[in-house]
């Protein structure tokens, strides 16, 4: 057998070197070096775990202390303090509204729910609930202000809201408003507008009505009824104040009504000696009558 030529052996070594055979990976450290690196990182890992464990233990201890403190401080509510004018709402009503919540603790009591329960009382406009250390609640009540009566026994506040539908006591001095169901805010707004303008003219409104057809009329304290109808109500009010009011100012006791449902004027219904109004004259826009 002949020997392998030198050139052939050298070529084989080069080919095997190109395939990576027998060459060490320059990018991957030897196993011994990797083991040393892991051994060096281990103390740092143990220290980090211990640090996090310590922080977690402190956090758990703080939470536990807070829970214990809460349990100690969250004692049942013992008393209720009240503040307000209490002209229409009695302290007994407030106490009955708050009583279902008194089983709760001082800290866990739902103040918003207590506020809603108190404000559900008919004459309560607003309530403010406060905690008083160590086991009391303070209830501050603002009562509704009745601005007008609605129908026979309802009451409307200064925002035009019907807050009592059937009041046991209705102040006689309140103006009387009436209208279809759901028109309370509209009628109240119209009343407030009229009231201010009539006061400037030296008159006082005592009643305002809106009927089912949408027609308006109001009564003065002198007993005069002013008919406005359904159309051009704002323009008719302005015409009444600018033209009719100066004419009737000194004869209000003789007049039963003033009809503003005319396009360019108004009609006066005079009282007869028997106290009844004269037959009404037909307005020019009698479709509105």
Overall size of the chain counted in residues:
289
- CB-count exposure of residue 135 (10 Å: 0-12, 13-18, 19+): middle
For residues 139 and 151, state if they share a domain: no
- Do 203 and 154 lie in one domain? The reply is yes
Q: Are residues 183 and 277 in the same domain?
A: yes
**Is position 60 within any domain?**
no
Last residue of some domain: 143, 173, 198? 143
Does the pLDDT value for residue 165 go beyond 80? yes
Confirm if 285 and 230 have CB atoms less than 8 A apart: no
Say whether both 98 and 227 belong to one domain: no
- Whether 63 is in a domain gets the answer no
DSSP class of residue 121?
Answer: S
Domain co-membership, 206 together with 183: yes
139 and 177 belong to one structural domain = no
Based on the fold, state whether residues 85 and 157 are members of the same structural domain. no
- pLDDT band at 158, cuts 50/70/90? confident
Q: Are residues 156 and 276 both part of a single domain?
A: yes
Look at residues 143, 165, 199 and tell me which one is the last residue of a structural domain.
143
Give the residue numbers spanning the domain of 211: 146-288
Q: Which residues contact 101 (CB under 8 A, 6 or more apart)?
A: 77, 109, 110, 113, 114, 117
Q: Is residue 14 pLDDT above 60, yes or no? A: yes
| Better-scored residue on pLDDT, 4 or 211 | 211
Per residue in 64-94, pLDDT (tens digit) is: 555 545 555 668 888 899 999 999 999 999 9
Domain annotation covers residue 10:
no
Q: Is residue 20 part of a domain?
A: no
Looking at the structure of the chain, the number of domains it has is 2
Q: How confident is the model at residue 205 (pLDDT cuts 50, 70, 90)?
A: very high
pLDDT score of 148: 93
Residues 210 and 263 in one domain: yes
The CATH number of the domain holding residue 100 is: 3.10.20.310
**Residue 44 within a domain:** no
This prediction has a pTM of: 0.65
Among 111, 143, 175, residue at a domain's last position = 143
pLDDT for residue 2:
46
pLDDT tier, 4 (very low <50, low <70, confident <90, very high otherwise): very low
Same domain membership, residue 236 and residue 275: yes
With bands split at pLDDT 50, 70 and 90, how would you rate the model's confidence at 250? confident
The first and second tokens of residue 28, run together, are: 């991957």
Distance CA 89, CA 142 (A): 9
CA 275 → CA 196, 265, 278, distances in Å? 30, 25, 9
> Are residues 240 and 116 part of one domain?
no
In a domain, 62, yes or no: no
Domain at 209, CATH number: 3.40.50.11690
271 inside domain: yes
**Does residue 108 lie within any of the structural domains?**
yes
The verdict on 150 and 256 lying in the same domain is: yes
């Amino acid at each position: 057998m002949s020997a392998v030529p030198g050139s052939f052996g050298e070529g084989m070594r080069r080919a095997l070197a190109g395939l990576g055979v027998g060459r060490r990976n320059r990018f991957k450290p030897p196993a011994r070096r990797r083991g040393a690196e892991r051994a060096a990182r281990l103390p740092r890992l143990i220290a980090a775990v211990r640090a996090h464990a310590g922080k977690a233990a402190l956090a758990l201890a703080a939470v536990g202390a807070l829970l214990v403190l809460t349990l100690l401080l969250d004692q049942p509510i013992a008393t209720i303090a009240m503040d307000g004018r209490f002209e229409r709402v009695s302290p007994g009503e407030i106490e009955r509204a708050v009583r279902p919540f008194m089983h709760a603790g001082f800290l866990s009591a739902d103040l918003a729910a207590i506020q809603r329960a108190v404000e559900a009382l008919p004459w309560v406009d607003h309530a403010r609930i406060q905690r008083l250390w160590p086991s009391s609640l303070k209830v501050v009540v603002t009562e509704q202000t009745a601005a007008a009566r609605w129908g026979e026994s309802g009451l409307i506040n200064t925002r035009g809201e019907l807050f009592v539908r059937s009041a046991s006591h209705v102040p006689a001095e309140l103006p009387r408003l009436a209208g279809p169901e759901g028109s309370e805010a509209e009628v109240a707004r119209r009343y407030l507008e009229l009231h201010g303008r009539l006061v400037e003219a030296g008159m006082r409104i005592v009643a305002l009505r809106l009927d089912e057809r949408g027609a308006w009329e109001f009564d003065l304290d002198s007993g005069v009824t002013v008919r406005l109808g359904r159309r051009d109500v704002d323009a008719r009010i302005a015409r009444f104040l600018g033209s009719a009011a100066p004419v009737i100012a000194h004869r209000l006791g003789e007049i039963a009504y003033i009809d503003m449902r005319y396009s360019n004027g108004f009609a006066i219904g005079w009282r007869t000696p028997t106290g009844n109004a004269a037959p009404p004259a037909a307005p020019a826009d009698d479709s509105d009558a």
